[in-house]
Amino acid sequence: ALGLTAFVASPVRSGSATVGVVMLHRSEAPADAWTAPETDFAGALADAVALAVERGERAEAEQALRRSEARYRVLADLTSDYAFAIRIDPAAEPDALLSASGIEWATDSFSRISGYTSSEMTDLGGFLPVIHPDSRAAVEQAVAEVYRGRPARFEARIVTRDGEARWIEHSARLGEADPDGTVLVYHSGQDVTERKRFEADLVAAREQAERSREEAE
């Protein structure tokens, strides 16, 4: 129907699997028109395509490995009660680091402490909605540092799903840019609520001691 009278096909192989075919065809030629050099040429083309496929797969695997290694290097470096990452567009406004980005991944302990799963956090509109109002100024200042590419460390209260305010010591840093231009921001958090309560109790006890001393005088 296409007017072809001769074709030669050479498989493109990846390991033991055939992933494609290189096909050469002719019209107005007898069926035995292919010479040995021509069929060898078809085979060489198929080998070249197979090599390109293999290189592409290897490059993709290496990129995924680099991302995975970077993720776990950060997690190992930032020992924490929980960790998560959000994907941001560096061309967006700095507020996007918290309010306009989805959670890319989160550890199980993230849900245990905050009460939210990563998907629920994304549905809320990012991390900003769980920040206690009294801590937003400190968080915004830290976000500005991260946005400039500088790691940030800060303490902030979050409001858990149950309405409890918990103090979290956060660390945040930018990862490397992906081919699409977006960047992962890695976060870790150490729950320091009990330490904060202990410090508050010490302050209260000191103030009470001072009042008692003044009354005695």
pLDDT of 92 reads: 67
CB 191 within 8 A of CB 81: yes
Residue that the structure tokens 């921001």 belong to:
185
Helix, strand, or coil (residue 27): strand
Secondary structure (DSSP) of 85-125? EEEE-TTS-TTHHHHS--EEEE-HHHHHHHS--HHHHHHHT
Closest-CA residue to 133 (of 99, 101, 115, 156): 156
Handedness of CA 145, 151, 156, 161 (dihedral sign): positive
- Report the residue count for the chain: 217
Residue type, 202: L
Residue 14 CB contacts under 8 Å (≥ 6 apart), including other chains: 50, 53, 54, 57
Contact 30, 5 (CB under 8 A): yes
pTM of the entire structure? 0.56
Contact 39, 11 (CB under 8 A): no
Cβ–Cβ < 8 Å for 131, 84? no
**Both tokens of residue 176?**
């490397």
Low-confidence ranges of the chain (pLDDT < 50): 76-77
Q: What is the pLDDT, as a whole number, of residue 76?
A: 44
Provide the 10 A C-beta neighbour count for residue 42.
18
pLDDT given at position 79: 53
